[in-house]
Amino acid sequence: VSSLDGAVRALRSPGEAPSGPRTRVETEIFPDGSPKKIGTVYLRNGACPLACVYCALYRSAAEGPASGDEVAGQIREARRRMPDIAGVKLYNASSLFEPGSIRQTPEDLSAIAREVSDLELVVVEARSENAYRAVPLAPLLSGKLEVAIGLEAADDGLLALLNKPTTVARFRQACAILARAGILVRAFVLVQPPFVSGQAARELALRTFELAGAQGARVVSLLPVVSSHEPMERLRRAGFFAEPTLDDFFEVVAACAGRSKGAGGAVVVAETEWLDRLPACGSCRTLKIEALERLNGTGELVPPSCAAHRRVLARETLRPRDGEEVARALAG
């Protein structure tokens, strides 16, 4: 265990167990190019074994791995609340193929597949390292399987500073395996993670988006990084982290959408759940958030005009030399 990993884990705090599966219904562009309703089920299962510094998903995890039957029960309950969806995202705050989170026998996977086999599109989360385990799941579905992988940032040094033990090369390998099996890929890209800001953060997000597209990702989902637990607050205090402004996030999304259009490339999705936490101009905050929500359902991003626009100044952040420096900042 590195000192960085230990420092992140030492600051983790327990969260509250949700009473039932949380759900969300959105409209997204499907593989056939048309917009349809897609539901998200936030599954509860064993925690992800990793401890990426920006991630607070462990707070809603259960003790130990869930069985396929338990996961199937959660999906059934969630789908009763989302009767008319054409696709589903099974997000489990880890990887669907992580044995510490969900049991991985063929029976367990079949139990999960049965609950979603009628849908046109099934999106599951995986890490690059175990994405190959999606291959036997695809034939159990009548619709398309899409594996969502946190590529995060096309910068191996930065991934190490974020305590995320993966690399761009592993993402490439995962994409190749999935493509050979006819499985679609969705990539998550972080917009302004800790240790980058300003122009460098915008360029990194764009570069990461293009890398994901070049590896054949059907969808690239852009996430503005916000702070949801103490490790991020420590990084903020040490000058290593600041949220992107809504203007910055909007510009990154617009640039990705613009490039994607020209190349006939990936569908751009803007993650909208935390947008109200980004510093923004009071006059156009709501209009910008609505424009981003419309992008997800239409593929078109129309920038709103704002006569009284006041650009919020973004804070610059520092890049540490190594993980030891991050660990020291976390230790306070």
At its nearest, how many Å lie between ligand SF4 and the CB of residue 228? 11
Q: Which of 39, 143, 150, 194 binds ligand SF4 (CB under 6 A)?
A: 150
Q: In the stretch 54-93, what mask flags binding to ligand SF4 with x, by CB under 6 A?
A: -x-x-----------------------------------x
Judge contact between 75 and 41, C-beta under 8 A.
yes
- By a kind-dependent CB cut-off of 5 to 8 A, residue 284 interacts, out of ligand SF4, Zn ion, none, with Zn ion
Stretch that binds ligand SF4, among 47-55, 61-69, 235-243, 257-265 (CB under 6 A): 47-55
- Closer residue to ligand SF4, CB minimum distance, 217 or 291: 217
The amino acid occupying position 162 is: L
- By a kind-dependent CB cut-off of 5 to 8 A, residue 306 interacts, out of Zn ion, ligand SF4, none, with Zn ion
**Of 120-149, which residues contact ligand SF4 (CB under 6 A)?**
127
- Closer residue to Zn ion, CB minimum distance, 81 or 310: 310
Q: Which of 76, 261, 277, 309 binds Zn ion (CB under 5 A)?
A: 309
Distance CA 297, CA 295 (A): 5
- Closer residue to ligand SF4, CB minimum distance, 129 or 247: 129
Instruction: Report the SS3 class of residue 178.
Output: helix
Locate all alpha helices (DSSP H) within the chain, ordered by sequence. Answer: 3-10, 68-80, 106-114, 156-161, 168-180, 198-214, 230-237, 246-263, 285-298, 323-331
Distance CA 121, CA 118 (A): 9
At its nearest, how many Å lie between Zn ion and the CB of residue 258? 21
Q: Is 25 an interacting residue with respect to ligand SF4 (CB under 6 A)?
A: no
Distance CA 210, CA 204 (A): 10
Q: In the stretch 214-243, what mask flags binding to Zn ion with x, by CB under 5 A?
A: ------------------------------
Closest CA to 107 of 70, 69, 138, 71: 69
- Greatest alpha-carbon pair distance for the chain in Å reads 59
Distance CA 30, CA 208 (A): 22
**93 half-sphere exposure, CB direction, 13 A CA radius:** 23
- By a kind-dependent CB cut-off of 5 to 8 A, residue 177 interacts, out of ligand SF4, Zn ion, none, with none
Q: Is 94 an interacting residue with respect to ligand SF4 (CB under 6 A)?
A: yes
- Closer residue to ligand SF4, CB minimum distance, 143 or 193: 193
- By a kind-dependent CB cut-off of 5 to 8 A, residue 52 interacts, out of ligand SF4, Zn ion, none, with ligand SF4
Q: Which of 164, 218, 229, 234 binds ligand SF4 (CB under 6 A)?
A: 164
Q: What are the beta bridge partners of residue 121?
A: 87, 144
Distance CA 155, CA 206 (A): 12
Q: Is 287 an interacting residue with respect to Zn ion (CB under 5 A)?
A: no
| Count of beta carbons in the 10 Å neighbourhood of residue 126 | 25
Judge contact between 20 and 5, C-beta under 8 A.
no
- By a kind-dependent CB cut-off of 5 to 8 A, residue 281 interacts, out of Zn ion, ligand SF4, none, with Zn ion
Binding residues (CB under 6 A) for ligand SF4: these are 48, 50-52, 55, 57, 93-94, 127, 150, 164
